[in-house]
Structure 1
Amino acid sequence: MADLTQSQWSEQLGNDSNSVILDVRTHAEVSEGFIPNMIHLDIFNAGPFMDKAKQMGPSKNYYIYCRSGARSGQACTILNSLGFKNTFNLIGGFMEWKGEKTI
């Protein structure tokens, strides 16, 4: 897992053809806006989160965000424990996101 600043996350993601964006916030939070092309995977719904995580390919590069960066850090740790090598946590989360967003 690597913690990335907003600019690092954007730059690295923009140059990564093997990327997957994961939003681990709640449905209510996602309804307030999200980063385009994300896959929603609510970390608070542990069963479905783990089921979906186990179906994802560990060879992809996962860019993960939440509201502030705490839950996405937890999600990175969980994915790493499942054998995922490349997980990237967005420091500051969606609250501090300055890039493109959908509302």
Structure 2
Amino acid sequence: MKRSLLAIAAAVFLVTSIAGCSTASETVELSADTILIDVRTPAEYGAGHLDGATLLDLNGGDFAAALPTLDPAAEYAVYCKSGNRSGQAVAMMEDAGFENVIDLGSIDEAAASTQIEVVQ
């Protein structure tokens, strides 16, 4: 009995975890004023980025250096390669008082959800 309850609980947890991580199927409507930030490396950005995105390399320190100069009242959408760095960047922005920030996750998720073209 305990094993079956544990198995059911584990299955429910797994399904809800996977569903919670999926952003590619959701459509994100960005306003014309939304500032799109790519927090990947210059090499990753050069290989392809969302059209109109500003590069602020999180690992290289560019993002942290630029954060105090960004308008906390503006709207931002942030993405990276896998969703890890964008999550870190969004957390930093929220800690700094930014309220209008969207974590788009990976570049593939960001392109799919926003319908913005990847350019080189």
TM-score range, shorter chain: 0.7 to 0.9
Match of 1:5 among 23, 38, 51: 23
Cα deviation 1:23-77 (Å, max 9, x = unaligned): 000011111100011110000022x322211101011111000001111011000
Residue matched to 2:50: 35
Alignment of 1:70-81 (within 5 A): 70-81=84-95
Give the % identical residues. Answer: 31
TM-score normalised to structure 1 length: 0.81
State the structure with bigger RCO (CA 8 A, min sep 6), 1 or 2.
Answer: 1
Q: Relative to 1, partners in 2 of residues 1:25 and 1:58: Cα closer, same or farther, differing over 3 Å? A: same
Unaligned runs of 5+ in 1: none
| Runs of 5+ consecutive residues of structure 2 not aligned to the other structure | 1-20
By percentage of residues, which structure has more helix?
Answer: 2
Q: TM-score, normalised by structure 2?
A: 0.71
Larger radius of gyration: 2
Aligned length: 95
Tell me which amino acid in the other structure corresponds to 1:58. P
Secondary structure of 1:60's counterpart equals coil
